[in-house]
Structures are given as C-alpha cells and as structure tokens.
Chains A and B, each alone.
Chain A
C-alpha cells in the first residue's frame, strides 16, 4: 500500500466521522484537531474504524501518533503494508 493510499484511507475515515468539515485541504504537518472539529470521541472513532476496516489495534500509548496526517501515515503505513485496500 502506497503512502498516498494510506493517506486516502485516513481521509475516508475523517469524511465519515467529521461529515461537516472540508477535509480536502488538510495540512499534513498541522494537528488535525487544529484544522477540523475533532474531540476525544472522534479519535476513538478513528481507532474503531481502523479496527473494523483493517483489524488494526492502536494501543492508547500510540494515540499521539494520530495527531497529524503525517503522523497517521508514518504510523499506519507499516501496519497496513500487507493489507488489501478497503473500498471504504
């Protein structure tokens, strides 16, 4: 799975859990929370969607890696390496 594909996976999840937000211009190195309206329940939604869609478990100590898009991509790319691209 390419970096671009991993990025798209995160965008797809964000589109579902933050449906009122414009996610097309997200800056990869700025905290997601500072760009769109996300709270702790939303981060738990991201974790849940990764679990549901890719059977990936993100332990609580690793939540900090999900703070930015760049962090999400670098954290998730190795985990998603051998997984097929989910349609959603």
Chain B
C-alpha cells in the first residue's frame, strides 16, 4: 500500500571511501584531516592523482564472482552487504522479493570497454578475442544486478544514471519506492569504479579540469584560489532505507530521517552549471521539508575544485542562505576527491555522525580562499563543534545540469 507521506529513515550504512572502509574509519579520518588521495598509474597516461579504495573484495565474493564481474559490482556488493550487516537485518528471515536495489552511477561500461579494446589490441584487433563477458559487464544495471545475484534479492534492481548527482538520486529513488509500497526495504546509494578508465582522466585533462599537485593529498582543493581541477576517485555508499514504523518495530538504530529532496535540470549547457537552477533546487528541497535556510546546520557542498563549478555553486549557496547564514558549509571531496556516482551518498555518510558528535568536518586544503567562492561559515581546515545538529543538507550536481539536494533530519 502506498503512503506518500510515509517517513523514511536510514537504518544501515555500508561504504568504502579512499580513506576508510566503514563509517567509523571514514569519520575519524574526516575529523583528523586524513586525505585518501594518492598517485595512481593509469593506462596510456601514466601517473595521475586518484582516490583509491582498499576494501577486501573477497569478504563477500568468491574469486570467480569477482573475476566474472566488475570492480563497481564488487564495490556495490561490499557496500550493500555492509549496510545489511550494520542494520542488523537477517536477509534469510525477510521476503527478498520486497527488497529493491537502487544505485546511482555517473557512468558505466567505460572501464570494461577500454579493457576489452586493450585486450584485442594484443591480438591484432581481432574481435574473436573479445570477451563473452563484455555484455553482462557493461549493461547499465550491472552494479545493482551483481548485488541481487550475490545476496539473492529478487525485488527490483537498477541503476540511476545521473552524472555526479547520481548518489543522492539513488537514495531519492529508494525513498520514493518505499513510499509507493513497491518495496519494504531499499538498498540505495551510489557507486563508482571510474578511476579504472583512463578516458575519464584524459577527458578532464583535455577540458583543463584535472587536478595536479606535487603532493597528491593537496590536489583536491575546493574553493581555494589555486585549485586546478578534479581528483577522480572510486568508492561507494549504500544505505538500508526503511519506513519509520518498520524500523521502530524491529528496534533499529536510526541514523536520520530523509525529510526533503529535490531534483531539477539547468537546461543550458553540457558542463557549465547554472547557479540559478541550483538555488531553485535547494529551495525546492527546503520547501518540501518545511524548512528555512537557517534551519540547516551543515551543508555538504558539491564543489569539485574546478574553476567555474566552485564559483557557480558558491553563488547558488549565497543566493539561498544569504550573507549572514549560520549554516556551516564543508566539502568532503577535499579529502577523498570526486567519487563520481558515489559522491552524494558517500559525502552525506561522512556527515551523518555529526548528529551525535556535533562535529563538522572541514574542507581541507583551503589555504587561500578564492574571493569568488567566499561563503559565510565555511568550515576550513579544522573541524568545528556545534551546540546542536538537527539538519544536514547534501548537494550533488552533475553534467547536463542535473541537480540533486537531500536533507536529513536527526532522529529523536
């Protein structure tokens, strides 16, 4: 039965980030200023900076499953299994036809296609050496599909392709499907394997938007005058989402309630974001949550450290929150780079413990603030403790002007 006003809560979190393979580790490193960005060898380009994850792929997969599947499938399985374990849900005891898997992806298939092209290049480009695994590895539902095979989930599964706004949108999809009564439990979030395709790096480089720094841990520097582009990263975060009464009934731990969301489109450019539409998206999420800008305690900014992207988002935030806002603004990409499809859910995850510890992790590598990115209460380089944290907002924007905003409320 559908109830569009049903309250939806986060009851489990599974994640892998370049600086942590669970929420506790990730949070500690965000509060301690520990970056996860390193130097990374990529095909044809040599050394680039990247956020690389080191979770144990074989914790939940057999070697054959891993060999047959994709890196992002592995990320998705690890995060989903960890989320279920964290939520204390016994999969054997529930109706798995009422579980949905909704994962945001920036792109899918580039890694596998590049690998196959490279493979046949070793055989004179004879396509009879092209793998029969190519199609199942590159269908768009691959990461979510691998989760269902691994966990024997028979409810719906698909990915949501939404450039770098996708992580938030996986969660929004989960909320909507729970409210529609399509599923009773959603595994929702975002995943990325993008560092394993040289094309992502090469394209950002050609665009003049690939970060470079002699110290890789300082390469991702949103809002800094000397920022010079994106650090590409892999990662994932998956939540178990449940209807509040279901979560209460089983005495679940509740990380927070999703009280507002919005998605809209700029409709002006392939890559340049529009602050006007971003501001509209933020306002729509606030309106739906019945909140004013000043109600938001922490805003995790999307800023990726590109020249124009950071300026445009700063404009949108100033427009909505004003010059004297009390809202603290931070940025998680400064630690882990841009985890692409995972960014929305992963960055939000890093902030959720603030409901309990009241700490706001900073944006690091902010040595010289770009005046065009000036924001009131930008938490720079050192964490800040607040007297209370009741609402966290998460921005995730992507190419083609896709904007997504999530608001999570402390549960009490």
Residues of A bordering B, CB below 8 Å:
17-20, 37, 41, 44-45, 48, 51-52
Contacts and interface: CB of A to CB of B under 8 A. Distances in A.
Contact of A37 (B64, B67, B123, B131): B64
Contacts of B64: 17-20, 37
A45 B67 CA distance: 11
22 contacts: A17-B64, A17-B67, A18-B64, A19-B63, A19-B64, A19-B67, A20-B62, A20-B63, A20-B64, A37-B64, A41-B68, A41-B132, A41-B133, A44-B132, A45-B132, A48-B129, A48-B131, A48-B132, A51-B128, A51-B129, A52-B123, A52-B129
Interface of B: 62-64, 67-68, 123, 128-129, 131-133
Contacts of B131: 48
A37 B63 CA distance: 12
Given A17-B64, A41-B133, A48-B132, 5 more contacts: A20-B64, A45-B132, A48-B129, A48-B131, A51-B128
A48 B116 CA distance: 13
A48 B123 CA distance: 12
B131 to A, nearest CB: 7
Contacts of A48: 129, 131-132
A37 B67 CA distance: 14
Contacts of B133: 41
A59 to B, nearest CB: 12
Top 4 closest A-B pairs, CB basis? A19-B63, A20-B62, A44-B132, A20-B63
A54 to B, nearest CB: 13
Contacts of B128: 51
